Every structure is written in C-alpha cells, then in structure tokens.
Amino acid sequence: MKKKFTLKIAGKIGLGFGVLTLALILNAILINKVLNKSRDLNETMTSVYQPSEELLVRMRNMINNSQILIKSWVFVDKVADTPDKLKLIQLHDVSFPQIQHDLARIVAQWDDSTRMAFQNLSKAITDTLFSMHHIVMNQLTSMSAYDDAGIMFQIIPLVSDNGDIITKTNQILVTLDKLITRQQDKVTGSRKEMDKSFERLKTFIFLTCLALVFVSLVLAFLTARSIVVPLIYIKRVLLSMSKGILPDKTVKERADEIGEMSKALNELVSGLKALSGFALEIGRGNYNTAFKPLSEDDVLGNSLLRMRDDLKAATIEDTKRKLEDEQRNWATLGVAKFSDILRQDNDKLDVLSYNVISNLVKYLDANQGGIFLINDNDKSNIFIELVGCYAFNHKRHLQKQIHIGEGLVGRCILEKETIYLTDIPDNYVKITSGLGDANPRSLLLVPLAMNDEVFGVIEIASFKDIQPYQIEFVEKIAEIIASTLSAVKINMQTTILLEQSRIQAEELSAQEEEMRQNMEELRATQEQSSRKEQELRVALEDMKRNTNKGNKN
C-alpha cells in the first residue's frame, strides 16, 4: 500500500509562505512582463514610429517646397544665385540626401509593405522628379536661356499646373501622406495596446490580492487546527502517565513533528510495558526473551539486559565447558583407540592402512576416507599410491601413480600442510549411497609427517562439516600414524635388505662353487696342455734326430 504523503509542520508553514511568495513572484513576473512590453512598445514608438512620422512630414514639406522653388526658378528668379535657387540647390544636394540617410536607419524596422512603398517612393523622387528638376535647373542657368523661346517652350510645360513635375510632385505627396498616416496609425495602435496592458495588469493585481487573502486565511486555519488539536490530546495522555496510568490505546501517528511526538509517546508506553514483561521473564529464568531498551541511555532496560546477558553467558560458558570436556575425552579415547590399532598388524601395511582408515572414518562419523603413501622404492620413479580406503569411489584412483604436487593429495604432500575444503571441485570425489552419488560437503587432507618427513596423506570426505577439534584430532592421529609408518617402513626395508643379503649370499656361494669348478677345469686343461706340449717337444726332438741322421748319410 502506498504511504500517504503528509507535510510536516515546517512544511505546512513553508507551504503557506511558499504560496504567498509564489503568488508575489508571479505577480512581479507579470508586472515586469507588461512593463517590458510597454517599454518595448514605447521604445519602438519613440525610436521608429514617431521619428519616421517626423521625417516623412519633413520630406513632404521638402517635396512641397521643391515644387514652389522649381516654379520660382522658371517664372520669377531669372538671375543667377537667388535665395530660392540656392534653397533648391541646397534641398537637392544636402537636405534631401540627409533625410534619406536618416530614414534609411529606421526603414529597416518597418514592415515589408511599408518599406517597399518607401523604397519605390524614394526611387521615384530621385530618378524621376529630381531628374526633371535637374533638367530645368541645367537649362536655365543664364539670362540668355530665359530669352531663348525654344528652351522656354520645353521647360514651361514641365512646371505648368498640369505639367509632369507638378503631376509627379502631387503623386509623391499623396504617397507620402499615406506613409505618414501609416506611421500615425502605428503610434495610435501602440498607445492603445499599452493602455490595454495596463488595464489587464490592474485587473490581475486586484484578483491576485483577493486570492492571496483567501489562501492566507485558509492556510492559517488549517495550520492552527493541525497543530493545536493534536497537542491538546498528547497533553492529556502525558498527564495520565504522570499518575502511573498507561493508556490502552495508542496515539494516532502522522508524518510531521507532532506525529514524531506521538510515535515517541507510543514507543515509550510500549517500552514500559515490555520492560515490565521482560523483568517477569527474567525472574522466571527465561534468558532467551527478546527485549529492546527504550534508548541507549535507558538505565533500567540496559541493566536488565546486562543481567540477562550475564546469566545467559554463564549458562553458555558452562555448556561450552562441558562440550570441550566431551571433545577432549573424545580425542583422548580416540588416541588410545588408534594407538592400539597401530600396534596390531604393523607388519602388514595394507591391512594396517585399511584398519586405520575404516576406524577413522567411523570415529569421525564421516563417509569416505583413504590413505595415500609415497612409494620411493625406485628412487628414479617416486609416486603416491592409495594403500587403504573405506567406502571410497575407486574410479578416481584408477590411475596407478599420482605424482608429487599433482592434485590435492600431491599438493598436501608438497606443502606439508593440512587442507580443509568446503567448496569441493566438481567430479573430484563422489560419495556413493543407496540414493546415488553426490559431492561431499567437506574434504580434509592431513599429511602423514614426522620430523619434517612426509610419508603420505590421510583424505577424509564427509556430508557434514568437519569440526576444528576433529581436524586437530586427525592431525594428532596423523603424527602417530606417521611414526608407525616410519617404523613399519624401516622394518620392511630391513626385511627387504636381509632378504636381499641372503639372496646375495646364496648367489655368492653359488658363484664361488662355479668358480672352483672352473678353476679345476682350468687346472685339468692346463695339465692336459702341458702333456700335449711335452709330447710335441719329444716328437720334435725325434724329428730333429731323424733329420740329422739323414744328412750324415
């Protein structure tokens, strides 16, 4: 269920001031917006529309004056450099270009149609009207020109009432009047828009003030009600508690400061009731009853907790002492039992290994076990072999030889340290039961070492955790087994050496008899050879004598 959001007292007060502040900010923003708009309109009016109107009026006056001055140039001022002629020249060369330049800076801010109309008008004035003025002014530059009937015949039609100059001037003046009217309309529209903005602003300020007054009254009423009423109820509860009366009902809680006070009051009442019940349970000897003090500084509650903990610790210590005595007795009996086992069949290593590992697995209430010994009969090929096992899966040990440092067994021998694992590698060993095969929960490997010499490893696998006191017991047994194995190994080596000595003695005796016979045969051979040599010598001497006789004859 979604928790209902409730403002705290500070939040409620802040909300009231926030609403008022927000309204004031909005009011100020709107006023500023209206003022900025009015300022922009006024700035546009004063910098664009009014200057444009004034300049266009000046231009109209200038065009109108130019009409009068050009007529005066033709009909009145027949001498050079009269004031009117100079005025017309000044108008063409200075005044009109200046007013064009001033209007050019403002025209860019006009709308497109007005700007296009002005550009066409300016072009008509410059390229058409003033061009005709220049024709007249250039033709009538001396007294002789005025007396020339041909020139006057061409000039007079231009400046007559229906002439091109007068007609073009009137057209330009009409266009200028329209442009001036447009600018006047824009000034009037801007002023009306400013008046409307100020009227809307005045209405908004009035409505905002009414809304602020209403919201302020509502917020003040709600805030007072949400604070005063709950405080009166909490006061009544506290007065009852001061007389030792604990209320049966809890104070309604909410998510603000008064709600926090209500929550603290409810926790105080609940804590006092729990303290009473906890004291009764301790009196009955129930030390496992849970209790939470009212606070870290709750003297009575913390004292009761310390008393409960001291009594509980004494009970636990007594239980722990009994357990340690049981474990010590268990280990002592185990050492005596395995010492007796190791005294039996210590001349048969396979029988001794099986008896030790089977009894050790049973004594530890484990599931499987094995004894691995180092076979160093061949110094050039030293390996580890499984010599005794109990309820062991042989599939993993089909390998005839395990090298030093290979697998957990080889690592245990190499490091000469106990290895205890609860995270067994997959397919390392399986415990077989009527329900199938499964990985053991714990695996213990203890080196069989004595005087820093390692003879092998005891490996125990179990579905249960092997406790530290059991590991310590196996390490003690491993020392005794190592000592026994050392003696057995020495005895076996002595037996082997004696057997080898007997075999070597028999072989030596046979070799001596054979040598004697060979000597006798050699002696007989030598005597026979000596006889044959003697016979050969006699035969040679006979042959020599016979040869000498033949030579004499």
* Amino acid in position 347: D
Identify which has the larger pLDDT, 291 or 523.
523
Model confidence at 445, in pLDDT bands (50, 70, 90)? Answer: very high
What does the pLDDT average to over 12-20?
Answer: 68
Angstrom distances, CA of residue 387 to CA of 136, 185, 275, 377, 384 = 141, 120, 65, 15, 9
The alpha helices in 45-95, defined as continuous H runs, are: 50-75, 83-90
Q: What CA–CA distance (Å, rounded) separates 11 from 15?
A: 6
Residue carrying the six token digits 């006061």:
235
User: Amino acid letter at 227?
Assistant: I
Q: Which of 348, 396, 347 is nearest to 370 (CA)?
A: 396
The residues facing 372 across adjacent strands are 386, 457
Query: Could you give the CA distance from residue 120 to residue 284 in angstroms, rounded to a whole number?
Result: 114
Query: What pLDDT shows up at residue 76?
Result: 79
For residue 375, the SS3 value is strand
Q: Which residue in the block uniquely carries the two structure tokens 């000597």?
A: 519
d(CA 368, CA 183): 111
- At residue 128, does pLDDT exceed 80? yes
pLDDT at 292: 74
34 vs 170: which has the higher pLDDT: 170
Q: Which two tokens stand for residue 409?
A: 């067994």
Which whole number is the average pLDDT over 292-305? 75
User: Are the CB atoms for 433 and 399 separated by under 8 Å?
Assistant: no
Q: How many CB atoms lie under 10 A from the CB of residue 357?
A: 25
Q: Please give the backbone phi and psi of residue 460, each rounded to the nearest 5 degrees, phi first.
A: -125, 130
Whether residue 43 has pLDDT greater than 80 = no
Distance CA(325)–CA(136), nearest Å, equals 142
**Residue-level pLDDT at 10:** 63
Residue 156 and residue 70: Cα distance in Å, rounded? 11
Average pLDDT over residues 21-48: 76
Nearest to 225, CA basis, from 9, 419, 67 = 9
CB 122 within 8 A of CB 171: no
In angstroms, rounded to a whole number, what is the distance separating the alpha carbons of residues 551 and 537?
A: 21
- Give the three-state DSSP class for 264: helix
Collapse the DSSP code of 459 into the 3-class scheme (helix H, G, I; strand E, B; otherwise coil) and give the result.
strand
- How many Cβ atoms from other residues are within 10 Å of residue 130's Cβ? 20
- The one-letter code for the residue type at 410 is G
Supply the pLDDT for residue 472.
92
pLDDT at position 426: 66
Least confident of 6-20, 75-89, 249-263, 297-311: 6-20
Task: Give me the percent of the chain exceeding a pLDDT of 70.
Answer: 88
Distance CA 128, CA 135 (A): 11
Strands 419-421, 442-450: pairing is antiparallel
* DSSP secondary structure string for all residues of 318-345: HHHHHHHHHHHHHHHHHHHHHHHHHHSS
d(CA 8, CA 253): 12
What is the sign, positive or negative, of the torsion defined by CA atoms of 71, 77, 83, 88?
positive
Average pLDDT over residues 39-43: 75
| DSSP assigned state of 445 | E
What lies within 8 Å, CB to CB, of 176 at 6+ separation is 56, 59, 60, 63, 121
**Is 50 exceeded by the pLDDT of residue 395?**
no
Q: Which residue has the higher pLDDT, 124 or 220?
A: 124
Q: Nearest 5°: phi and psi at 517?
A: -60, -40
Q: In angstroms, rounded to a whole number, what is the distance separating the alpha carbons of residues 124 and 172?
A: 8
Residue 397, pLDDT above cutoff 50:
no
DSSP 394: G
pLDDT digits (tens, 9 = 90+) for 484-533: 877 777 777 777 778 888 888 888 888 888 888 888 888 888 788 778 77
Tell me, what's the pLDDT at 447? 92
At residue 246, the 3 state secondary structure works out as coil
240's CB contacts (< 8 A; 6+ apart) are 247
pLDDT at 396: 43
103-128 per-residue burial string, b: 16 or more CB within 10 A, e: under 16? beebbeebeeebeebbeebbeebeee
Q: How far is CA 51 from CA 103, 107, 124, in A?
A: 9, 11, 22
Phi (first) and psi of residue 441, to 5 degrees: -85, -30
| 501's tokens | 């000595």
392: amino acid identity, one letter: F
CB 385 within 8 A of CB 400: yes
For residue 394, the model assigns a pLDDT of 45
Q: What's the pLDDT band for 400 if we cut at 50, 70, 90?
A: low
| pLDDT given at position 388 | 84
- 354 pLDDT band, cuts 50/70/90, is confident
- For the chain, what is the mean pLDDT? 79
